[in-house]
Structure 1
Amino acid sequence: MEQYVTTIQTDCSDILIYTFPVLFIATLGCIFLHLVKYANAHDERGTSKGTRFASWSRPAITKGPLGIVSWTELCFLFMFAALLIWTISSYTHGLFKRITRQSAAMMGVEIWQAKLERLALILGLVGNICLAFLFFPVTRGSSILRLFGLTSESSVKYHIWLGHAVMALFTAHGLCFIFFWANTHQLSKMLQWHKVGVSNVAGEVALLAGIAMWFTSFSRIRRKLFELFFYTHHLYIIFVVFVVFHVGFTYSCIFLPGFYLFLIDRYLRFLQSQQRVCLVSARILPCQAVELNFSKCPGLRYNPTSSVFINVPSISKLQWHPFTVTSNSNMEAEKLSIVIKNEGKWSQKLIEKLSSTTAEHHFQVSLEGPYGPTSTQFLRYQTS
């Protein structure tokens, strides 16, 4: 009985340690951003003062493979690299030093086989660290990103990199274990589903779902077969659920806070996307670009460089495309405008649809957003 109570207390403490800091920061971020928005609304000059971290959002790198990287992003990149280096070195030192001839003999394996098993475990543990950060960049309405002056649009590339890292590590993790079981005549372990501890079958299901998402996310497949990419990417639900079954709920609390915030954001975006916005006017410009003007409530405020996601069900019920808002919420209180260039099949179909449509009210559009930075640096300066 005492051992059972101790186990429950340990699980509760682990859950509190892993989940509370992230959710607490997200809550404080919501409160802080609300106060900043309230203060800006009562600013006599009508300009956005930004957040405490506004100066860190200035570009630190403008050329190179990383693209445009702000000081905040650069700082997080260094901290994440340091975390991975420390994690790998810590796990490697802690697990490999226990491997001796005596310990390998007691396990009934050779030294290299014991090291292979430890390596497979390390790959899974490091992959779980990367998984903990995977959902933050794609949480569009995240208070954590906005608190540090980041946007989901500029952070999507980190989600892509983290996704590649997670699947490369988890795939290597699974292959190493399969190779170890094959060399030690234990392939039957692939069919084990333990109610307590690690479930191998659940890990295999999660890995297969992850590989399906991984292969369809490469740019060539994603651009040519977007519908396939979109449908397959919804396997993230199966992936996360079976990862929880694989490692247990307590250890899953490392990545569940980010996934929980993503689910809240996804649900709110789903509710918004179900509403059809009122298209006031649409016109094809001489440069073969399309200008769409939507009606909005006067209380909706957004900063320059904000973007919205547009869906036209008559063209594709699944495709959502981001576009920069061209209107100013301070000067055009009841209208939101975007300009779409003719640079793809979707935009070409849009132009053909508008050309053949005589009444705009027959042209249904769904909208998500606008999303954008909490402040814009150049708004802090006076103009003559």
Structure 2
Amino acid sequence: MQIARREWFFDFYGPRLYAMVLGQLPAIIALFLGVTDLHLLAKLLSLGLLALPTAFYHIALTRVRHDPVLLAAVMAVIGVVFMTTSFFIVGEYNTAFAVVIAVTVRLMTAERLTVTDGAFLFAAGVLSFRTYEVMIYCGPLVALMIAWCIRRAPERPRFATTLHILATLLFLGGTVVAADSLIYPFSQDHLSKTAATVLNAWQNVQFDLTLLAALVIVIWAIVRPADLSTPKPYLFAAFFLVLLVFSPLLMLTDTLVRPHAKSQYVARSMAGLVVATIAVLIWIYKSPLADRIAAFRELRRPEAARRLMGFGLLMVLAVVPTDAFLTLEWRNYLQTVRTIVREQSGVIAYENTPLAKPPLDLLVEPWILPSQSLVLRSKRGDGIIAPPNNFDSWQPFPPAKPYPLGPFIWRD
């Protein structure tokens, strides 16, 4: 909506500017080419927002394709973090997490300092400079890894080394930007609410079950590392993946504990810690310290490495049914909103719509209802759904005075 209204990038928050701009680029290009179909622009915006983290994960997967253990680690991040927290892909943290993993595996698989690796690190550092607050701890971590790689490199070619050093400074700069955004937030109320909901990650069933499966393997590896070459730990961990596959059936009950699109967002803070932890484990695995750790020694056996890689793939596949369920649920929600606004005019009371009843009420975000209505209208005179009567927080515009969007309209 804001892109169409401004006919330009919606760059409302400086500390996340670079991820915002790159994600919006396909939609902006289409806008400059004369596209006025909000449906097409929405698809292009989704494409841009998804393509950015997906590109970095593909880079990471390509880099580790010959190392089963590192391949398993990257797939674990995709399964535990990306696929369970990215349903509303607008969050810039999705890109930040992907950058951290791509940079980590790039560093830990490098045999020497090269200009190609240095250029990649430099580009990733530029992007991370203004991407997300998670850089407050991921920035120093990545900078330390780069410094470690420079120190242990057999040779230090001048240009390649310079690029690595510049990348280090950029990641540290990203830390400063992230810290400043937390010390001087654009909204103290938003920051307080975010901090208060950190422990609400348990509400994300997908995140919980995949993380529990991963923790079973980690704890088992610490207690009985020799079992990593056997099916036993993976069979126990698979119990949680089976629960995840069948968890959409919980919608048939009255419980609120089930896969839920809005719950994905609240797990982002805990997900950042998972990403940082896996990055550290990758670092240790590729360092001389790994020789002193029984689990890592065991994982150097082909049988153990293959089993871990296979389980990493299972973690990714196990999330697919719930993501498919959430997609169908959200599609039904949007179709309902579209039908409501096109069959009525003026301001529509939320309480008089199907959105106020289960299960659609679980998908409603009150402050954004007017914006969703405006975007999904087929003509200027279509209705606008007002937030619930008891809603008294900020909203982009009064329902009775929607933004003028000119020629932009949603076309089916």
Q: TM-score, normalised by structure 1?
A: 0.27
Structure number with higher helix proportion: 2
Higher relative contact order (CA 8 A, sep 6+): 2
Structure number with higher strand proportion: 1
Highest CA radius of gyration, 1 or 2?
A: 1
Q: TM-score, normalised by structure 2?
A: 0.25
